[in-house]
Structure 1
Amino acid sequence: MGTRDRIVAAAEQVINELGLARATTREIARAAGCSEALLYKHFSRKEDLFHAVLLERMPALTPAVARLSGQVGVATVAENLEEFARAAIAFYRRSLPLSAGLLAEASLLTGFRAMLAETGGGPHLPILLLGAYLREEQKIGRVDADADPDSAAALLLGACHHRSVLGSLVDLGPDDALAPGLVATLIAGLAPR
């Protein structure tokens, strides 16, 4: 593992242990086994380091969406959505500490928004891609023609995010237990009539 990767991994560890507000460059450098000067050789600002953690160390939903798009017409829509819901809950659960910190820190949020604008990325993309998957299933008759794929995608991902927030506050049992019921309820509104 190179120095830059070691610093990013240490930043993730420190953020998880201390929270974003208390994750200082001094603490991160100590955890990475390097000097603050070396840290700043790789990252010009603390915000850049936090953005690297978010983009490089957090599990992305894009691979789960890519798998899902390859499942059009394969297995059942419910099975495909359950697998995706489990991945989404895991993603939101793991990324919640960092994303909450971003929302609470104005300079980090401003920098993150600028980075998203430059790269064309953003947290809305999984919803759009999930909606596209449902539209493809709709075209082959596995989703009702009158269903709204984009609303269904927003409902599913919103519920997954909500579960991760609640699960951070209280013990709701295993996250995997939610996916089947959540998807079954959603499918009831999507199933061809």
Structure 2
Amino acid sequence: MPRSTPASSSRERILDAALLVMRDRGLANTTTKLIAAQAGLSEAMLYKHFADKQQLFLSVLRERTPRARLEADPRGESLAEGLSALVADLMAFFTRTFPIAASIFGSPALLAEHREGVAAHGGGPATVIDGVRARLVAEQDAGRIRPDADTASTARTLVGAAFHQGFLAAFEGLDAVPDAERIAADIVDVVLPGLVPAGR
């Protein structure tokens, strides 16, 4: 196993610290100074790895929170199984990230700054829907979803349902949605009839 370099080690420390501070204080009350102090590093070191707080936030989301698998499983799972796993992943992601991001909505000025910052780095909430729709289109191209299926509305439905379940779990102070796999399967069962080709 290759040994980590001081640069990669400091970057990992910053990401770990950022997750802790953001979860504890919320994004609106998180500063790069607090993150650097939590990591035991200087702010200058933080800025060697990340251009700004928004880039650091996006890196935390991508590298320190549950990831949704947006590609079909090559092992041959059914469409229902694959989409259920995707929805369960999204519920885990939203449950863990909602406490971080919610505070930013309390300040219109901070929200505007954050919105512009994440957009400049190619991020934002819409990217989740875009990713799910791309997964559905790939399934459509493979013939597992019928050609006339509304992949855009289906993506919004799946993401919206997952987000709401994540919100409910976060509201209760939980780190995960209870019985997530069953709930995800039930959500997929509702949309599946509008996706599958006739005779399947």
2:27 aligns to what SS in structure 1? coil
Unaligned runs of 5+ in 2: 1-7
TM-fit CA distance, 1:159: 0.5
CA–CA separation in structure 1 for the residues paired with 2:188 and 2:88? 10
TM-fit CA distance, 1:81: 0.5
Name 2:189's counterpart in structure 1.
184
Unaligned runs of 5+ in 1: none
TM-score (norm 1): 0.76
TM-fit CA distance, 1:163: 0.7
**Number of residue pairs matched?**
184
Computed over aligned residues only, the root mean square deviation of the Cα atoms, in angstroms, reads 3.1
Name 1:33's counterpart in structure 2.
40
Name 1:126's counterpart in structure 2.
128
Name 2:164's counterpart in structure 1.
162
TM-fit CA distance, 1:155: 0.3
Percent of residue pairs identical: 30
1:48 partnered with 2:55: no
CA–CA separation in structure 1 for the residues paired with 2:29 and 2:134? 40
TM-score (norm 2): 0.74
Q: Is the 8 A contact 1:54 1:98 kept in 2?
A: no
Residue of 126, 140, 144 corresponding to 1:138 = 140
Deviations 1:132-186 (A, max 9, x none): 3323433444223432111111100111111100111237623233111111111
Q: What amino acid sits opposite 2:69 in the alignment?
A: A
Q: Structure 1 residues 59 and 174, CA, compared in 2 at 3 Å: closer, same or farther?
A: farther
Q: Is the 8 A contact 1:85 1:160 kept in 2?
A: yes
1:174 partnered with 2:179: yes
1:78 partnered with 2:85: no
Q: Structure 1 residues 121 and 32, CA, compared in 2 at 3 Å: closer, same or farther?
A: closer
Name 2:26's counterpart in structure 1.
19
Name 2:150's counterpart in structure 1.
148
Q: Structure 1 residues 15 and 133, CA, compared in 2 at 3 Å: closer, same or farther?
A: closer
